[in-house]
Amino acid sequence: MSVPIVWFPRLRVDSASPQWALRLAESFWDRHEGYGHVVFGESVSPRAIRVPPDRSAAFMVPEPGFRHRRRDDSPKHIGWAGTVEWEVVDVTSAPGDPLENPLDCDRLVLHRRPDLPLGRLESMLSDLLTEVPISRIWLDLTSTGWDAATWLLSRFPQVQLEGVADHELWRLMQIAQWLNRPLWLQDAVHPNPREIPQFPRYLNHLEEGG
């Protein structure tokens, strides 16, 4: 079976009111039938809210026992010219420590620097994937842009997109259909992804008739 394309709904929540932040998160999970990944910002401490264990969430505030998301704006030591974010399930290093080894993290999200040409982006990604045998790497859609992200998704089976909004799901479906790859709804906690069925193609009857 060809490598699935993953729709990983993500919501960033940063609110001075932890309870309001949780309300937003719950609404987001409800809209995706319990799936979806929520990233709580610096103002939300893991201890201030109670996230159900079957919900996918990460916190920018480190706390043992909680999934922690970090950011490094200058990760040149791993061969990337742009911001990286990564998530660790267990907090063992200090919050300011750089990412030493991409294999040590649970999810690695690469951001594109605004002035980075597509050719350079592709070769950097190729080098990174050659040097680090990582099975899945995430590209931040907002900074990468749809056209570059589409191309890189087709080029590298390890690449997935983070930040595809609900109203842009059709674009991911279109890419999956053209590449003949299944489309999965997935997050960081559910062991079983959900397959998203494809739309029937308009004028299929003409194709079948030859």
What minimum distance in Å lies between the beta carbon of 116 and other proteins? 10
Phi, psi of 185 (to 5 degrees): -95, 125
206 lines the binding site for other proteins (CB under 8 A): yes
* Structure tokens belonging to residue 188: 């960081």
Asked if 117 interacts with other proteins (CB under 8 A), we say yes
Tell me whether residue 146 or residue 184 sits nearer to other proteins (CB atom): 146
State how far the Cα of 83 lies from the Cα of 99, in Å rounded to an integer: 11
Site for other proteins in 130-189 (CB under 8 A): 145-148, 150-151, 154-155, 170-171, 174-175, 178-179
Q: In what order do the strands lie in the sheet with 5-7?
A: 5-7, 183-185, 194-195
Give the bridge partners for 160, in sequence order: 138
8 A C-beta contact, residue 72 and residue 105? no
Residue 31 and residue 25: Cα distance in Å, rounded? 10
Closer residue to other proteins (CB): 49 or 196: 196
Q: How far is the CB of 207 from other proteins (least distance, A)?
A: 6
Residues that bind other proteins (CB under 8 A): 117-120, 122-123, 126, 145-148, 150-151, 154-155, 170-171, 174-175, 178-179, 201-203, 206-207, 209
